[in-house]
Amino acid sequence: MSNPSAEDEVAGLCSDLIRIDTTNPGDHSGPGERKAAEYVAEKLAEVGLEPKIYESHEKRSSLVVRIEGTDPGRDALLIHGHLDVVPAQKEDWTRDPFGGEIVDGCVWGRGAVDMKDMDAMVLAVMRERLRQGRRPARDIVLAFLADEEAGGKWGAHWLVDEHPDLFEGCTEAIGEVGGFSLTLPNDQRLYLIETAEKGLAWMRLTADGTAGHGSMVHRDNAVTALAAAVQRLGEHEFPIQLTKTVRAFLEEVCDATGVEFDPENVEKTVEDLGPLKRMIGATLRNTLNPTVLEAGYKANVIPQSAIAQVDGRFLPGHEEEFFETVDELLGERVSREFVNHDIAVETEWEGPLVEAMGAALRAHDPQARPVPYCLSGGTDAKAFSTLGMKCYGFAPLKLPKDLDFSGMFHGIDERVPVDGLQFGVRVLDHFLDHI
């Protein structure tokens, strides 16, 4: 019996991974990634590799393996994906979020686009290539990582800090949230490759006051002070600041649609992007969103302190002014500390690797127009960039025009088209032949 091809395998691999619950609530209370890491290890061992699982914590498991290239003088390439997923409530979904069902031409479930689809594509491609004895010219380091959905402290960041030798020689990396198609109103198909991402500042805010009886006049109320600060943060709109990546993306969109780029009216360009406007719109400026409020324990007791949490995101090159604004908005009564703080990253849209990504897309979609873009969220690229790697988001998917892809990230009814996965497998295989 002949071995299945990568295109035959990829949907099943994605389904299997989804059925392994790797929910990461952010506090080590979930099932962890161990079972998924063992599954990946088994699939790679079947084709002759010797992957190793690294545990940074009882429930935080990552897997790394190096595939030797045919030219030992070349720099290595890191291909990374994460195994954990955000929580999902079954009652909100049309189908079981951990069922991995293949229905209506799609693989359904939590992680289908974030990012067990890419994990499955990488597994399928590497299994086929190794069965056929096709090794790329340069070394490839595969990393299937823990804890990305909680900031990567116990995954990519831990590996970079404790085992940097695993990534010896890696000068470039590819990972999630890039390489997917966006069909414009004129039916031109762009493929967005991530070359930048915003930095993150998850902050805990605390206001202190004087405890007392709720029936009395009280000028030193911690809840009032905190609520006022949270309102100022939530209502503040930062000015538009075009980074080089965002400007390049908008210029490409305007050129593709035959519209003159107007730097004074970029929001109109973004508005025409359909559902993706939420993600791209967030890369025009720094953002602040209050997400958690905690205060008090009884209606007639004024608490001594009140706490809030805020999700802040800052553009590459604009971190200092972001925090200056935050502190001004907070005022004197409210202090802040980090729940999670990580850098913004941005790399060049040029070079042989960029050319190889574009060529691979065009080889399998002649209408493909690769463009750089900035991600409003964050990925494990933040950790690997600290080792000097140029990091790109390149998990290629050709998507239906009407699919709200950006809405699938952390949303309900997350799913990925099977033919999109098969397209991704073909593109990645072509890419690995030409790096």
28-50 pLDDT per residue, tens: 899 999 999 999 999 999 999 99
Contact indicator for 378, 198 with CB cutoff of 8 Å:
yes
**What is the mean pLDDT of the segment spanning 411-427?**
96
Q: Is the pLDDT of residue 223 over 70?
A: yes
| 257 pLDDT tier (thresholds 50, 70, 90) | confident
Q: Is the pLDDT of residue 279 over 90?
A: no
Q: Is the pLDDT of residue 406 over 80?
A: no
Lowest mean pLDDT among 278-287, 333-342, 400-409: 400-409
Q: Is the pLDDT of residue 355 over 70?
A: yes
Instruction: Please give the Cα distance from 12 to 32 (Å, whole number).
Output: 22
What's this model's pTM, rounded to 2 decimal places?
Answer: 0.93
Residue 433: its pLDDT value, please?
A: 96
pLDDT per residue as tens digits for the range 172-218: 999 999 999 998 888 889 999 999 999 999 999 999 999 988 888 88
Contact indicator for 141, 76 with CB cutoff of 8 Å:
yes
pLDDT per residue as tens digits for the range 142-161: 999 999 999 999 999 999 99
Q: Is the pLDDT of residue 408 over 90?
A: no
Instruction: Please give the Cα distance from 13 to 258 (Å, whole number).
Output: 41
Element (H, E) at 415: strand 415-417
Residue 343: its pLDDT value, please?
A: 96
Instruction: Please give the Cα distance from 141 to 41 (Å, whole number).
Output: 14
Residue 270: its pLDDT value, please?
A: 84
Range 85-116 burial, b when 16+ CB lie within 10 A, else e: bbebeeeebebebbbbbbeeebbbbbbbbbbb
Residue 269: its pLDDT value, please?
A: 83
Residue 404: its pLDDT value, please?
A: 82
| 378 pLDDT tier (thresholds 50, 70, 90) | very high
pLDDT per residue as tens digits for the range 297-315: 999 999 999 999 999 999 9
Q: Is the pLDDT of residue 1 over 70?
A: no
Residue 95: its pLDDT value, please?
A: 96
Domains of the chain: 6-187+345-433 (3.40.630.10), 199-239+285-343 (3.30.70.360)
Phi, psi of 181 (to 5 degrees): -90, 150
Residue 354: its pLDDT value, please?
A: 97
Strands of the 102-103 sheet, one edge to the other: 102-103, 106-108, 415-417
Q: Is the pLDDT of residue 87 over 80?
A: yes
Element (H, E) at 214: none
Sign of CA dihedral 211, 217, 223, 229: negative
Residues 6 or more apart in contact with residue 200 via CB below 8 angstroms: 151, 311, 312, 313, 314, 340, 341, 342, 377, 378
Please report, rounded to a whole number, the percentage of residues in the chain having pLDDT higher than 90: 84
- Closest among 172, 182, 195 to 257, alpha carbons compared: 182
- Judging by DSSP bridges, how do beta strands 76-82 and 102-103 pair with one another? unpaired
The residue with tokens 């007791």 is 301
Residues 6 or more apart in contact with residue 138 via CB below 8 angstroms: 69, 71, 74, 75, 76, 77, 435
Residue 274: its pLDDT value, please?
A: 74
312 - beta bridge partners? 201, 288
